[in-house]
Amino acid sequence: MKIELSEFFSNEGKTENLNVVSDLDSFESKLGSFLITEKAPFELHLENQEGKTLLINGETDVTVNTVCDRCLTDVPTSIHITIDESLDLNTMGVTEDEEEGPAWLDESELDLDKLVYDEILVNWPAKVLCREDCKGICSKCGKNLNLGTRSCDRSVPDPRMAAIQDIFNQFKEV
Ligand SMILES: [Zn+2]
Ligand SMILES: [Zn+2]
């Protein structure tokens, strides 16, 4: 979703609280594609300060279906998002040396989805486990070891293993 900001650029002192919801339904990154299953209401505070600065702040939570690092099952993970931006209305940048302006600003529109995307990226969990003692998957047959303890016959290679190995290699490259 895009939010028109031109009124906030030109009206000194203009302040508004908006209730918005991002249109972002999935998070795509080098790690893969992850569904966003829940989005909390997002109250965004916009404030033109003395005609010089536009403050944009707010907080929300999103739930993303991440996957367990060891066994690859879905793990719903809640990510807290804090937006705290300050746009210099003279340079239209967040810092003095920024010439093109922030990535979430498109002409006079705030790209909320881009802002939320960047925050998810920054807050992405370094480690995801379905449970602390996740046993992972059998290196031989690819079976989820959390589901049973009976071991496979390790002398017989399983063709499914190749596919599982590919998935692991993808994750290692990142
Ligand atoms: Zn797991
Ligand atoms: Zn096995």
Q: What is the pLDDT of residues 100-119, one digit of tens each?
A: 678 899 889 999 999 999 99
Please, are residues 16 and 55 in contact by the beta-carbon 8 Å criterion? no
User: In the prediction, which pLDDT does 139 show?
Assistant: 84
Regarding beta strands 15-20 and 26-29, do their DSSP bridges make them parallel or antiparallel, or are they unpaired?
A: unpaired
Ligand 1 centroid–CA 134 distance in Å is 5
User: In the prediction, which pLDDT does 153 show?
Assistant: 58
Question: What is the 8-class DSSP label of residue 95?
Answer: S
Instruction: Identify the band that residue 152 occupies on the pLDDT scale cut at 50, 70 and 90.
Output: confident
User: In the prediction, which pLDDT does 103 show?
Assistant: 86
In terms of pLDDT, which residue wins out, 80 or 166? Answer: 80
Taking residues 86-91, what's their average pLDDT?
89
Please, are residues 55 and 23 in contact by the beta-carbon 8 Å criterion? no
Ligand 1 centroid–CA 73 distance in Å is 6
Ligand 1 centroid–CA 9 distance in Å is 48
User: In the prediction, which pLDDT does 49 show?
Assistant: 97
User: In the prediction, which pLDDT does 102 show?
Assistant: 86
Ligand 1 centroid–CA 32 distance in Å is 17
Q: Is the pLDDT of residue 150 over 80?
A: no
Question: By percentage, how much of the chain surpasses pLDDT 90?
Answer: 67
How many Cα atoms are found within 13 Å in the side-chain-facing hemisphere of 150? 1
**What radius of gyration do the chain's Cα atoms show?**
22
User: In the prediction, which pLDDT does 151 show?
Assistant: 65
Alpha-carbon gap, residue 39 to 118, rounded angstroms: 15
Ligand 2 centroid–CA 135 distance in Å is 12
Please, are residues 47 and 54 in contact by the beta-carbon 8 Å criterion? yes
User: In the prediction, which pLDDT does 160 show?
Assistant: 67
**Top-confidence range, 31-40, 84-93, 135-144:** 31-40
Q: Is the pLDDT of residue 6 over 60?
A: yes
- Residue 102 phi/psi, 5-degree rounding, is -70, 155
Digit-coded pLDDT (tens) for 33-47: 999 999 998 899 999
Closest by Cα among 10, 38, 15 to 26: 38
Q: Whole-model pTM?
A: 0.76
